Structure 1
Amino acid sequence: MAEINKVAVIGAGVMGAGIAAHVANAGVPVILLDIVPKDAADRSAVAKGAIERLLKADPAPFMSKAAARLVTPGNVEDDLGLLADCDLIIEAIVERLDLKQSLYAKIDAVRKDGSIVSSNTSTIPLAALVGGLPERFAGDFLITHFFNPPRYMRLLEVVAGAATRPEAVATVSQFADHRLGKGVVRCKDRPGFIANRLGVTWLQAAVVEAFDRAIDIEDADAIIGRPMGIPKTGVFGLLDLVGLDLMPHVNASLAGSLPAGDMFHDLYRPAPLIEKMIAEGYTGRKGKGGFYRLNRAEGKAKEAIDLTTGAYRPQKKADVEAVKEAGRSLGKLFEHDSAAGRYAWAVMGRTLAYAALLVGDAADEIEAIDEAMRLGYNWKKGPFELIDDLGVAWFVAALERSGLPVAPILTAAAGRPFYRVVEGRREVLRLDGGYAELVRPDGVLMLADVKLTAKPVLKNGSASLWDIGDGVACFEFTSKMNSLDPDTIDLLQKSIRKVAKEFKALVIYNEGSQFSVGANLGLALFAANIAAFAEIENLIASGQAVYKALKYAKFPVVGAPSGMALGGGCEILLHCSAIQAHAETYVGLVEVGVGLIPGWGGCKEMLARWQSLGRLPNGPMPPVIKAFETISTATVAKSAAEAKELLFLRPSDGITMNRYRLLADAKAKALSLVEGYQPPAPPTFRLPGPSAKVGMDMAVDGFRRLGKATAYDAVVSSALAVVLSGGDTDVIAELSEDDVLELERTAFAGLVKSAGTLDRIEHMLMTGKPLRN
């Protein structure tokens, strides 16, 4: 199979520039071309301007600003010759067939033999794109439909034409999977492919039914949101995020291309209120507001639009009785005799029925449709998984009562589930009524699969230890948000002893949305409120001891984080032998935000890293200042690449782009360390002492005078400065690891008794935001 080592993207708009940035995130050089502006002094100004915007955008399209150096700007009049070195050329220009085909002719004249050309279109059929073009070009052409923003949205829909070389599809799919971290879903050449066709129908159903039933948008988002495993934005919040002005174009495109009789046509109708909002600049978060807005004239008051009157009113907190009574039962919600229950079924019954109709049309496999909605719209479960939760027989009966169509795949199911497990094998229903085994791609290992046939080696309410084969164990956090508590620490201690006796290596990993948000603050606040400070101090001491035992275990320990790894979750990574991180890992020591300092060795480990790996000027102060800057500002790395720059990850630690491949990569790294493994030598420290603390205090006081730090920030930072400067030491004294850990415990114990810290913890638990006291 050919490799893709250089890429070109033509079209430096939002999508094209974002695709180019993400290719650069993968470490692949990329050419970014656009038109020459009229009368421009710089003929490549459009592409250069796009790169400048990428560097300023939030959320950041680049995983590291250094990645921007891999993007070379140019223009389509002077620089098409640069395509001759490219293995993949992605077209991302305006959705006009004539312009695309004109560009393809120019590309074909300069590209090398075997290079692959793709379009990011989601509206024009592939057959039309290659119509009239040479057979050689059609053989190298396919559609690669990225989702916006390309860095963060994991779905990539791939569409091949009748003439497309299978090798081209395989090469692009492997590149997208391994290098770009995408979940590749093969689609047929149908309007909207899978995710947009089904997703837009779902959104349109939710909007139309809310208008027709006069449902408040807050209630609609509460109903069509978390109860279905859909992000808390719900529908109207999602439309604000995407942009209201985009939807009329997408809807019109689908309506114009879908065949007569398609269910989407029943939902396609004018929406005068939305048209008025767009005309007045209320296009969502990128405009003056959308269905929700912040009324800055009223002190940033949160408001929501009334779908009946078209006027903004104060945003209310949704309190939907049907949702509360249904609990985790989707069927109970759909059957609830209320406006909310009827709205839920009207939207989701139609959406799930439509999903079933797409089998054999947009895709032959139901798992492709489920994957498209999970990765393209962040649904926790795909539509067929939701139908399984309802029960196929129940769902078919409900469709018949509602006069909704029953798709052939539902008839083929004959009341049986779409997914089942037989002797530890995952199987999925096919259109012919038979089942086929679901096999993971090579290099993919999921803990969910291990659990189908295995029982945990050790387990309590907050964590589990699993055997993942080849002598490797996996320690999994299982508490809410994977927060860490005494049970986590206790099982980790037992796991270290168990692995030492029965395994070769340990991986710390889980398949939650966050690796760990840190210590359980609720328990800490409860203990502080009943003055159980001895219990808190015991937890800090035991955490330090267990993390230290982890660090000096006789076997290698590999941390495999994805999502947030904060506070104690970051500290456990700092004590691992190595890390294999998902690219979208957000690491930081954020304890100062709740009035504390890192107490499980985080201060000590960051000092040691900047001392040994930081390549700083000689002397005791530079590592101290670097650690102080990072910890006192609660700096969080916004990617694994940035975590390396901040030394939360070492230069030798690995990064996995595809979330599905993380556990297999971490296991492989752990096994590679087994032979001849020796735990690290304990660090020693020569720290500058009280004079350095005075300097750090003065710096924070300066920020306080400028309004950039609060009075209590100064208190917390002063406690941190004591630890990092070494307390009552001087530069000629050598401090051990245990000396610094003792300073951590003392500082932590002092802060946790303070009213300012307790106020911060309580505010964080109540609001999810730091208190600026």
Structure 2
Amino acid sequence: MQSGQSGQQAAADAARFHIRKVAVCGAGVMGAQIAAHCVNAGVPVVLFDLPAQEGDRNGIARRAVAQLAKLNPAPLGSPELAALISVANYEDDLPRLAECDLVIEAIAERLDWKRDLYHKLAPAIKHDAIIASNTSGLSITDLAAALPESLRARFCGVHFFNPPRYMTLVELIPTADTSPLLLDLLETFLVSQLGKGVVRAKDTPNFIGNRIGVFGILSVFAQAEKFGLPYDLVDELTGTRLGRAKSGTFRTADVVGLDTLAHVIRTMQDQLPQDPFHPHFGVPPVLAALIAKGALGQKTGAGFYRKQGKAISRLDPARQEYVPAGATIAEPVAAILAERDPARKLKALHDSDHPQAQFLWAVLRDGFHYSAVHLADIADTARQVDLAMKWGFGHAQGPFEIWQAAGWRDVAGWIAADIAAGKTLSSAPLPEWATRGPVWEARGVHTPAGSWNPRDKRFEGRSGLPVYQRQIGAPLLVGETASLEPAVVYENEAVRCWTLPAPHPGDVLLVSFKTKMHTLSPGVVRGIAHAVDLAEASFKALVIGQTDDPFSAGADLKAMLPAFEQGGAAAVEPIEREMQDMVLRLRYAQVPVVAALAGLALGGGCELAVHCARRVAHFETYIGLVEAGIGLVPGAGGLSFCARRAAELQAEAAPDAPLLAFLKKFALAVASAQVSKSALDARNMGYLRPSDPIVMNRHELLYVAVREARNLAEAGWRAPLPRRFPVAGRDGIATLKAQLLNMKVGGYISDHDFTVAEKIAYVMCGGDVDPGSLVDEAWMLKREREAFLNLLVQEKTQERIAGILKTGKPVRN
């Protein structure tokens, strides 16, 4: 793996290079969770730590693996994946490093400890393995000096953000010796196999994400104190209304850990003495005081906030005690934040004399100022900075995007005026590239030609790595344009039917929904049926999928409500029939239909997916038949699918296997409105099959789904023939009902839960028929409709529907 190879040779080497096994050295919080995410992707891991002083020599690593099952949010997509993590220690098991193609060091942030470990590991690492440090801010060059010279070309930094399963960002940091091809290979693995968003950072303290993000937190501390705003109000101002994480600033600090935040701040303070903003890099006194008394945030029960029962209080720094939280944003400021036009919004914040608005302008201005001053130091282009803040800190837009969308020239003028007036945290001027030349003329750093590279003084295009050619529908930064323009075949207010341009297959039709949360309105249902007609007439296959999440939140209850109010259950029955006809149209289409699942696939979305020829699912897919939560049964073939699938599983197992053993799992999942915790969990539940591919990168979903559909067509796919299947009948109903009754008596379910679950059992068992009776889909679908319509008119069901439509939360009655 040497630099300077041709593009074709590099691509060939990348195709041959496989990371078959990973070693993670360090079984702390980050190390164990990095190991967990590797096994989520199907990559086995050897997790190393120190040998235990007593008992099991691998006890430290073994306990770390056991702890994964207790964490929330869950690091593992399915609990049984823990078995793919082998445990080891540095004294007995170093020869096992020879099995591993990637070695990730993830021990504590101590340069001396890391160097000592490298001396120990180096002789055992195989000759072509990649070696990486998961440091959040230490110098990668200094770390590399501890390795033999022969290993330095294969060493780099790889900074995962916490928690690794859910946070998109991974920073990739090379040294001057790191092989460029190695970086390409590792980036490809991280993007495609682990599903990450990779940003290449320069080897500077705290890299990009923490450098910009932690400065932003320090700015919030400084400006909140200046304008006299309490912590709960600051969190309201810097939360979702500002396009940032719901938890705002101080709640987020509590979740991360105040000691962790202080460590990163000290890294900046110690390692960046020449930074013009350095006077503000000290640990704020209020933060230091909390740490001194052991109030480290959520993990100790108190920090900037304290929760006692359901009551949440926030710290009053002046009184050094907790007071009730609940501050609200002033109405004039709330109105500014509700403004959709970014230019008008930012101008209103800048011009307002309200302290809350002045605070917001100051925080945003500080972020623009700092990012511009340090862009050339920390990143190659402005794109890396914006992506780091979006992927690593949950911002809807990065600092340069906000600045550009609000009017680059106006905002630059306001920043310069504030610098001149002494209002900013540093007197450092904006860099020349921000106020004249190509960026000024383009009115921003992001253009169709690429993003601004201050070192080369040009707009640099996006990465040309082949892995990015697999990404379809990835969000664009402000000012960017799509590299792929889809061809629209048919479009109305509910759906869009389209195809991908070359070099992607143009003979596969895609259909996407245009409704909110991609719900299945009557228009969408008819649009899907029309898409099948188009595909059968002119294409080889059909893919149902969205370019953004979710796949579908289910049937559009609001669209159904007027029909029910005007004509009762009888007026809803045609809508139900149409839904059922649609899913059967998918099942028996004369071209293969593939559902591309990501995010929520609930209720009708799940029913649609399970009737397709195949499903391709993003790892973070949450699928389930949830109608019981609103007092209904699945009415678009969901129960029919469960009954038929249970019969298929019975036939695959053994002719004399009890049908109810396979049916019960489906029945209890539906009755409890269970939703999968991942695509792997959905496979265990039975909504996905072993043949359904799971992809780790959300933006590769349509790429894989289109090729899966085309491959099915090329292999001579034929629709299944309608067949009758056995059902559990009245004996199955009686058995399930007895279990439900025990749950009701035990107080686990309410009377109405029992009523709904009883209907589910009745339909799923095929109704009042003999056990083993053969039925067809028409028989099952009729019973689904009858149960759905029967429950729809019940008062408690209507209370649940009204509650979910009003608050978005289920009503327990």
Check whether the contact 1:211–1:308 (CA below 8 A) recurs between aligned residues: no
Q: 1:467 Cα deviation (Å)?
A: 1.8
For 1:356 and 1:481, the matched residues in 2 are separated by 37
Matches of 1:683 and 1:417 in 2, distance apart?
63
**Counterpart for residue 686 of structure 2:** 647
Is 2:613 aligned against 1:609? Answer: no
Alpha-carbon offset, residue 507 of structure 1: 1.4
Amino acid at match of 2:24: V
Secondary structure of the 1:74 match is: strand
Question: Which residue pairs with 2:342 in the alignment?
Answer: 330
In 1, are the aligned partners of 2:212 and 2:367 still within 8 Å (CA)? yes
Instruction: Summarize the Cα distance change of 1:224–1:683 in structure 2 as closer, same or farther, 3 Å threshold.
Output: farther
Q: How far does residue 15 in structure 1 lie from its aligned partner after superposition?
A: 0.4
SS state at 1:544 partner: helix
Give the superposition deviation at 1:587. 1.0
**Range with greater deviation from structure 2 (542-551 or 273-282):** 273-282
1:698 aligns with 2:711: no
2:240 to 219, 226, 245: 226
Cα distance in 2, alignment partners of residues 375 and 430 from structure 1? 20
Moved more, 760-769 or 466-475: 760-769
Aligned residue for 2:492? 460
- TM-score, with length taken from structure 1: 0.94
Q: Are the counterparts in 2 of residues 305 and 312 from structure 1 also a CA contact under 8 Å?
A: yes
| Cα 1:156–1:439 shift into 2, 3 Å | closer
Distance across 1 between alignment mates of 2:289 and 2:225: 15
Q: Deviations over 1:175-230 (max 9, x none)?
A: 21222111221111011111111111122222332233222434323332334432
User: Do 2:543 and 2:594's aligned partners in 1 also have CA atoms closer than 8 Å?
Assistant: yes
Kept in 2: contact 1:610–1:616 (CA 8 A): no
The whole-number CA distance in structure 2 between the counterparts of 1:317 and 1:520 is 35
**Equivalent pair of 1:194/1:363 in contact (CA under 8 Å):** yes
Mark the runs of 5 or more structure 2 residues left unpaired by the alignment.
1-12, 475-480
**Alignment equivalent of 1:36, drawn from 34, 37, 51:** 51
Query: What is the correspondence of 1:362-761 to structure 2 with a 5 Å cutoff?
Result: 362-403=378-419, 405-411=429-435, 412=437, 413-418=439-444, 427-431=450-454, 434-438=458-462, 441-442=465-466, 443-447=469-473, 453-454=485-486, 456-469=488-501, 470-525=506-561, 528=564, 532-613=568-649, 615=652, 618-675=657-714, 676-731=716-771, 733-761=773-801
1:320, 1:496 → 2: CA distance?
51
Contact 2:171 2:198 in 1 (8 A): yes
Distance verdict in 2 for CA 1:650–1:42, change over 3 Å: same
Find the counterpart in structure 1 of residue 324 from structure 2. Answer: 314
Shift, 1:119, TM fit: 0.7
Distance in 1, Cα, partners of 2:166 & 2:181: 27
Q: Is the 8 A contact 2:643 2:765 kept in 1?
A: no
* Offset of residue 747 of structure 1: 0.7
Q: Which one is further off, 489-498 or 568-577?
A: 489-498
Q: 1:54-94 deviations in whole A, cap 9, x for unaligned?
A: 12222221112232122111111111121122211111111
Q: Secondary structure at the match of 2:136?
A: coil
Secondary structure at 1:89 match in 2: strand
Kept in 2: contact 1:578–1:653 (CA 8 A): yes
Q: Which amino acid aligns with 1:332?
A: R
Instruction: Return the alpha-carbon distance in structure 2 between the equivalents of residues 490 and 366 of structure 1.
Output: 44
Q: Which amino acid aligns with 1:747?
A: A
CA distance in 2 between partners of 1:167 and 1:736 (Å):
57
Equivalent residue, structure 2, for 1:4: 19
Partner residue of 1:26 out of 36, 41, 61: 41
Per the TM alignment, residue 361 of structure 1 is displaced from its structure 2 partner at its CA by 1.3
Aligned match of 2:104? 90
Q: What TM-score comes out, normalization by structure 2 length?
A: 0.89
Return 5+ residue gaps in structure 1 as ranges: none
| TM-superposed deviation, 1:319 | 4.1
* Structure 1 residue matching 2:170: 3-state secondary structure: strand
RMSD over aligned CA atoms reads 2.4
Q: Which of 339, 343, 351 is equivalent to 2:359?
A: 343
| Equivalent in the alignment of 2:9 | none
Q: Residue 89 of structure 2 aligns to which amino acid in structure 1? A: N
Between stretches 161-170 and 14-23, larger displacement belongs to 161-170
Opposite residue 440 of structure 2, the aligned amino acid is A
* SS, match of residue 560 in structure 1: strand
CA-to-aligned-CA distance 1:402-435 (integer Å, 9 cap, x gap): 215423442341152446676xxx6434435543
SS at match of 1:549: helix
The residue matched to 1:361 in structure 2 has which SS? helix
* Mapping 1:294-313, distance limit 5 Å: 294-296=307-309, 300-306=310-316, 308-313=318-323
2:778 alignment partner, SS class:
helix
Bigger shift: 678-687 or 573-582?
A: 678-687
Shift of 1:527: 5.1
C-alpha distance in 1 between matches for 2:515 and 2:445: 27
CA shift in 2, pair 1:132/1:278, >3 Å: closer
- SS in structure 2 opposite 1:476? strand
**Shift in Å, 1:748:** 0.8
Deviation at 1:47, TM superposition (A): 0.3
Deviation, structure 1 residue 306: 4.0
Q: Does 1:179 align with 2:219?
A: no
Which of 275, 288, 308 is the equivalent residue of 1:275? 288
Could you tell me how far 1:716 is from its partner in structure 2? Answer: 0.8
Deviates more, 1:756-765 or 1:389-398: 756-765
Deviations 1:546-596 (A, max 9, x none): 121122111111111111211111111111111111111111111111111
Counterparts of 1:151 and 1:50, CA distance in 2: 16
User: Is the CA contact 1:610–1:626 (under 8 Å) kept in the aligned structure 2?
Assistant: no
SS at match of 2:300: coil
The structure-2 alpha-carbon separation of the partners of 1:316 and 1:464, relative to structure 1 and needing over 3 Å to count, comes to: farther
**Partner SS for 2:258:** coil
Q: Structure 2: which amino acid aligns with 1:155? A: L
Partner amino acid for 2:286? Answer: L
Say which SS state the counterpart of residue 48 (structure 2) adopts: strand
Counterpart residue number, 2:299: 286
- Alpha-carbon distance in 2 for matches of 1:474, 1:440: 26
Q: Which residue pairs with 2:206 in the alignment?
A: 192
Contact 2:729 2:772 in 1 (8 A): no
How many residue pairs get matched?
765
Contact 1:12 1:46 in 2 (8 A): yes
Between the aligned partners of 2:445 and 2:377, the Cα distance in structure 1 is 20
3-state SS of 2:262 partner: helix
Measured in 2, the distance between the counterparts of 1:440 and 1:761 equals 49
CA distance in 2 between partners of 1:451 and 1:761 (Å): 43
Distance between the aligned counterparts of 2:302 and 2:507, measured in 1?
55
Equivalent pair of 2:65/2:82 in contact (CA under 8 Å): yes
Whether the aligned pair in 1 keeps the contact of 2:583 and 2:636 (CA below 8 Å) is yes
1:451 positional shift: 9.3
Do the aligned residues in 1 keep the contact of 2:473 with 2:699 (CA within 8 Å)? no
| SS of 2:216 mapped into structure 1 | helix
Structure 1 residue identity aligned to 2:265: N
Q: Is the 8 A contact 2:666 2:685 kept in 1?
A: no
Q: Could you tell me which amino acid in structure 2 is paired with residue 382 of structure 1? A: G
1:271–1:226 distance in 2 versus 1, CA, 3 Å:
same
1:450 Cα deviation (Å)? 6.5
Q: Deviation per CA, 1:33-64: give whole Å up to 9, x if none.
A: 111233x1111110000000012222221112
